[in-house]
Amino acid sequence: MRTFLEAATGFPTFLFTVPLLASLGFWLLVAVGAAGPRTFDGDVDLGALGLGGVPVAAAFSLWTGFAWAVSLGAVAALEPLASSGPSRALTGLAVLATASPTAWCATWAVTRLLRRPRPHESDHVLLQDAAPEFRTHRRAA
């Protein structure tokens, strides 16, 4: 447990721990009804990042969680190799440089799955688009 706490509160994981706690606090507010899951959708357009189609808070929470997990795992795995000050700092910088892009890739993959139409939704759309148009012609008597 001590190793986990040291890794979670040390560099660089701490840079992801704080936003992760803020994200968890936000979702707690959503759970009790004090905020909505689409609260930040008007502030940021994630389409340019390839993360559009899901609430901004969901994309940010996923990215933060993935970055935190990658950073924590890398720090825990590389700790025995980087015991001195300079090597620990360089390892921390390398972990920081790789955790963020790795988390973006994982977030991108998950948001693609989340915005995919569900089978019952796509069937409805297909049926609606394929419905024939009926015209009534009145005959003159």
Q: Where are the chain's structural domains?
A: 2-129
Model pLDDT, residue 113: 85
Tens of pLDDT along 49-83? 777 778 888 889 999 999 999 999 998 888 877 77
Tell whether the model's pLDDT for residue 91 goes beyond 80: yes
Higher pLDDT, 111 or 64: 64
Model pLDDT, residue 92: 86
Mean pLDDT of the chain: 79
Alpha-carbon dihedral 36, 42, 46, 47, rounded to 10 degrees: 120
Tens of pLDDT along 124-133? 444 444 444 4
Q: Distance of CA 110 to CAs 36, 54, 73, 97, Å? A: 21, 10, 20, 21
